[in-house]
Amino acid sequence: METRRIRGLWEREGDRGELRFVFLDRDGVVNRKPPEGDYITSWDRWEWLPGAAEAIAALNQAGLTVLLATNQRAIALGLLSEEGLAEIHSRMRAHLEQRGARLDGIYHCPHDRGQCRCRKPETGLFERAFRDFPAANPGNSVMIGDSLPDIEAGRRLGMKTVFVEGPAERNKPGSVEAARLAGAVVSSLVEAVGLLL
């Protein structure tokens, strides 16, 4: 696996050292994304992407704060409850812990399209995180995601962005645009973390 392009991720020498907060999208970055229109509605549908937990552990060990920012429209659609999502995330955290990895915060949007200010590409999830972590700001944060709304949200705030390009057959509409807009394009979280550290 090779980084296909790094453009504008580190504009100046020293930018890398300023990075302190890493925002991760969930589906397609940490765990295998279900087919378009399908959702992770229970833990038995969860499949880790190879090396994802170890990549999060590497970020932890480097002293970076790692935050999840995930759209969970399945809740708006009635396919998943808040409790069901909390259960999935509790299991995810337990598995991460076993591998020496930790998420410092999880932010999710339970809403449908066009209903709120937090569903990415809106920026509400990040603004909440910036309130919870006063040391965080767009200048010392990066967003790693596998869809155009992830990259758009990061760019709206002026964060650095890394696009995780999925397998071609799984690529969403907007992938080409996301790859064009992102500061870097990689094929996995493992590769993204290699770039950041």
Under DSSP, is residue 40 helix (H, G, I), strand (E, B) or coil? Answer: coil
Of 32 and 102, the one with the shorter C-beta distance to Mg ion is 32
The one catalytic residue in 15, 25, 44, 132 is 25
**Euclidean distance between CA atoms 21 and 135, whole angstroms:** 9
**CB of 164 vs Mg ion, minimal distance in Å:** 8
Sheet of strand 184-186: strand arrangement:
5-6, 184-186, 160-164, 141-145, 21-24, 65-71, 105-109
Question: Does 108 interact with Zn ion (rule: CB under 5 A)?
Answer: no
Q: Which of Mg ion, Zn ion, none does residue 146 bind to, with CB < 5 to 8 Å depending on kind?
A: Mg ion
**Binding mask of the shown chain, residues 5 to 34, with x at each position contacting Zn ion by CB under 5 A:** ------------------------------
Q: Which of Zn ion, Mg ion, none does residue 119 bind to, with CB < 5 to 8 Å depending on kind?
A: Zn ion
**CB of 119 vs Zn ion, minimal distance in Å:** 4
Is residue 150 annotated as part of the catalytic site, yes or no?
Answer: no
- From the CA atom positions of the chain, what is the Rg in Å? 15
**Euclidean distance between CA atoms 115 and 49, whole angstroms:** 30
- Residue 8 token pair: 């504008």
Q: What is the full DSSP assignment across 72-119?
A: -HHHHTTSS-HHHHHHHHHHHHHHHHHTT---SEEEEE-PPTTS-S-S
Q: Which stretch binds Mg ion (CB under 5 A): 101-109, 146-154, 163-171, 188-196?
A: 146-154
Q: Which stretch binds Zn ion (CB under 5 A): 96-104, 109-117, 135-143, 146-154?
A: 109-117
26, 33, 108, 111: which one contacts Zn ion (CB under 5 A)? 111
- Residue 170 token pair: 């799984």
- Dihedral sign (CA 69, 20, 16, 160): positive
Question: Does 165 interact with Mg ion (rule: CB under 5 A)?
Answer: no
Question: Which residues would be at the binding site for Mg ion (CB under 5 A)?
Answer: 25, 27-28, 146-147
Where in the sequence numbering do the catalytic residues fall?
25, 27
Residues that bind Zn ion (CB under 5 A): 109, 111, 116, 118-119
